Amino acid sequence: MIEFFKTRSQAFRYAFAGWWFVIRTQRNAWIHAVASLLALMTCFWLRLPSRDWAVIILAMAMVWMAEFINTALEAVVDLASPGSHFLAKVGKDVGAAAVLIAATSAAVVGLLIMGPPLWQRLHLLW
């Protein structure tokens, strides 16, 4: 039983090391972090219902997962193909496209969910 907890603890350490690597080395992760924080603050300010929160959080998680997978893909491609190679470029470009698709989708989800109540709230302020 103790061995189980030791291995789970180590697994979490590896996961947090990967998380820290992405935050430390990927400039776009900072853009995602700022966008995530702004989205969460806006949800809080608008007092959105829990179902809307859930959808927003899932959309944000989709973007973060794409960014993390893209970073892992880039590292593996760099390891396997340190020189320039057409297929290495394709792999990296497709990984970047996945992040773009996730981020664009999350922005649309955010606008669809937060747009109307945000517009109403801003209209009342002005």
74 catalytically annotated: no
Select which of 63, 67, 77, 113 is catalytic: 67
What gap in Å lies between CA 124 and CA 63, rounded to an integer? 32
- Single out the residue of 58, 51, 39 nearest to residue 118, CA to CA: 39
Q: How many CB atoms lie within 10 A of CB 113?
A: 22
Token duo for residue 65:
């997962």
- Residues marked active site are found at 67
